[in-house]
Structure 1
């Protein structure tokens, strides 16, 4: 059995606010464990099979931790650094746009909630998908992915690679 990815965490200097941001933006459950220290974002539902039916595999969760004292750690005071990373590249989180949602709605809502739009309307042929990106109010980069499907009709306004 291979080692399995089970969770990805985002840093925030206000996990409660970040939990509210993602709950409002994507409709995810904001599971504070405990409030303000660590928030587990639960999208609900299951990965789909090729025929569209739900598989037995639940959708992945996302964690939000307090950059001032990332838990868990053996020392109750945690370990440094204790601030958000502001320079250089950081991990990116990819979110598949649901069939009943749109990049335009998500980007507009993200911007209204304090996010910065990084780019929009790009087609990546290697993985046959439309993508758009924003930085949340804590500097975490979120890439939205839209399935292009068979024989995609890429709008002329989209950049491509």
Structure 2
């Protein structure tokens, strides 16, 4: 059995505000543990079986933590660094666009809540995805991935690689 990825954490100096952002943009449930300290964003649903039915495995979760005192940690007062990294590349989070949603709605909702759209309308043939990206108000980069189909249906005007 391989080691299994179960969570990815995003830093935010206001975890409650970041949780509201993701709840409003993606419709994820905010499961704060405790409020303002650590928020587990629960996208809901289960991974699909090959036949399309739901498996018993829940979708991955995203955590939001405050870098001023990143929990969990053995030291109750936390340790340095206590700020969000500002320079250079950071990890990116990829989000699959649901069949009942659109990248336009997601990007618009994110932008209305303080995000910056980084790029839109790009086809990446390596993973057969229609991609778009934004930076949330805390500097985290989110890449949206849409299914292009088999064979891929790439809309006119998309850049390609």
* TM-score category, normalised to shorter length: over 0.9
Note the residue ranges of structure 2 that are not aligned, 5 or more in a row.
Answer: none
User: Which sits farther off after the overlay, 148-157 or 39-48?
Assistant: 148-157
Number of corresponding residues: 161
Listed one character per residue, the Cα deviations across residues 111-139 of structure 1 (whole Å, up to 9, x for unaligned) are 00100000000000011010000000000
User: Which sits farther off after the overlay, 127-136 or 42-51?
Assistant: 42-51
Cα deviation for residue 155 of structure 1 reads 1.9
Structure 1 residue 44 and structure 2 residue 13: aligned? no
List structure 1 segments (4+ residues) > 3 angstroms apart after TM superposition: none
- State the partner residue of 1:23: 23
Listed one character per residue, the Cα deviations across residues 24-72 of structure 1 (whole Å, up to 9, x for unaligned) are 1111110110000000001111111233211121111100000111001
- State the partner residue of 2:119: 119
Note the residue ranges of structure 1 that are not aligned, 5 or more in a row.
Answer: none
Distance in 2 between the 1:37 and 1:158 partners? 40
- State the partner residue of 1:139: 139
Cα deviation for residue 76 of structure 1 reads 1.1
Cα deviation for residue 21 of structure 1 reads 0.4
Structure 1 residue 7 and structure 2 residue 7: aligned? yes
User: Which sits farther off after the overlay, 65-74 or 151-160?
Assistant: 151-160
TM-score calculated relative to the size of structure 2: 0.97
